[in-house]
Amino acid sequence: MQLYELSASELAQGLAKREFSAQEVVEAHLERIGAVEERLKAFLLVTPEEALSVAEEVDRKRAAGEVLPPLAGVPIAHKDLLCTRGVRTTCASRILANFVPPYDATVVARCREAMLPVLGKTNMDEFAMGSSTENSAFQITANPWDLERVPGGSSGGSAAAVAAREAPLALGTDTGGSIRQPASLCGIVGMKPTYGRVSRYGVVAYASSLDQVGPFARNVTDCALLLGVIAGHDPRDATSLPDPVPDYLAEMRKGAAGLKAGLPQELFGEGIDPAVKSTVLAAVDKLQELGVECEEVEMPHVDYSLPCYYIIAPAECSSNLARYDGVRYGHRTSQPVSDIYDLFAKTRAEGFGPEVRLRIMLGTYALSAGYYDAYYLKALKVRTLIKGDFDRAFEKYDVLLSPTSPTTAFKIGEKADDPLAMKLADICTIPVNLAGLPGMSIPCGFVEGLPVGLQIIGKPFGEAEMLRVAYAYEEAEGWEKERPEV
Ligand code: GLN
- Give me the residue spans of the domains in the chain: 3-259+466-481
Would you write out the chain's pLDDT as a tens digit for each of its 486 residues?
Answer: 899 999 999 999 999 999 999 999 999 999 999 999 999 999 999 999 999 999 999 999 999 999 999 999 999 999 999 999 999 999 999 999 999 999 999 999 999 999 999 999 999 999 999 999 999 999 999 999 999 999 999 999 999 999 999 999 999 999 999 999 999 999 999 999 999 999 999 999 999 999 999 999 999 999 999 999 999 999 999 999 999 999 999 999 999 999 999 999 999 998 999 999 999 999 999 999 999 999 999 999 999 999 999 999 999 999 999 999 999 889 999 999 999 999 999 999 999 999 999 999 999 999 999 999 999 999 999 999 999 999 999 999 999 999 999 999 999 999 988 888 999 999 999 999 999 999 999 999 999 999 999 999 999 999 999 999 999 999 999 898 899 999
Helix (H), strand (E) at residue 320: helix 305-320
CB of residue 130 inside a 6 A radius of ligand 1: yes
CB of residue 222 inside a 6 A radius of ligand 1: no
Check if 396 is active-site: no
Per-residue model confidence as pLDDT tens digits over 84-116 = 999 999 999 999 999 999 999 999 999 999 999
Start-to-end CA distance of the chain, whole Å, equals 16
CB of residue 176 inside a 6 A radius of ligand 1: yes
Question: Given strand 439-447, what is the order of strands in its sheet?
Answer: 43-46, 118-122, 76-79, 169-173, 213-217, 189-192, 439-447, 450-458, 399-403, 260-264, 293-297
Check if 41 is active-site: no
> What average pLDDT does the chain have?
97
CA of 59 to the centre of ligand 1 (A): 39
CA of 361 to the centre of ligand 1 (A): 16
Q: Strands, DSSP E only, in 298-404?
A: 399-403
Among 360, 366, 355, 359, which Cα is nearest to 344's? Answer: 360
Per-residue model confidence as pLDDT tens digits over 140-190 = 999 999 999 999 999 999 999 999 999 999 999 999 999 999 999 999 999
CB of residue 220 inside a 6 A radius of ligand 1: no
Q: Which of 154, 158, 184, 405 is an active site residue?
A: 154
CA of 184 to the centre of ligand 1 (A): 15
Q: Which of 79, 192, 346, 423 is an active site residue?
A: 79
Q: Directed axis angle between helix 220-230 and helix 106-113, to 10°?
A: 110
CB of residue 126 inside a 6 A radius of ligand 1: no
pLDDT for 144 equals 98
Check if 260 is active-site: no
Domain 3-259+466-481 -> CATH class? alpha beta
Residue type, 351: G
CA distances from 246 to 251, 276, 449 (A): 8, 33, 37
d(CA 22, CA 359): 43
- For residue 295, what are the β-bridge partners? 262
pLDDT for 217 equals 98
| 411 Cβ contact partners less than 8 Å away, ≥ 6 residues apart | 148, 149, 150
In 223-260, which positions are buried (b, 16+ CB within 10 angstroms) versus exposed (e)?
bbbbbbbbbbebeebeebeeeebbebbebbeeebeebe
pTM assigned to the model: 0.98
